[in-house]
Amino acid sequence: TLLLSPLSSLFAKENLSRMNEQQLNLYDRLINEPSNDWDIYYWATEAKATPAEFEHEVMAMLRDFAKNKKKEQRLRQPDLEYLFEPPP
**pLDDT at position 12, please?**
87
| CA distance linking residue 57 with residue 70, whole number of Å | 21
Q: Choose among 76, 55, 82, 54: nearest CA to 8.
A: 76
Instruction: Give, for all 88 residues of the chain, the pLDDT tens digit.
Output: 444 477 788 888 889 999 999 999 999 999 889 888 889 989 999 999 999 999 999 999 999 988 877 666 655 555 556 555 665 6
pTM for this predicted structure? 0.74
| CA distance linking residue 69 with residue 52, whole number of Å | 25
Domains and CATH numbers, the chain: 6-75 (1.10.150.250)
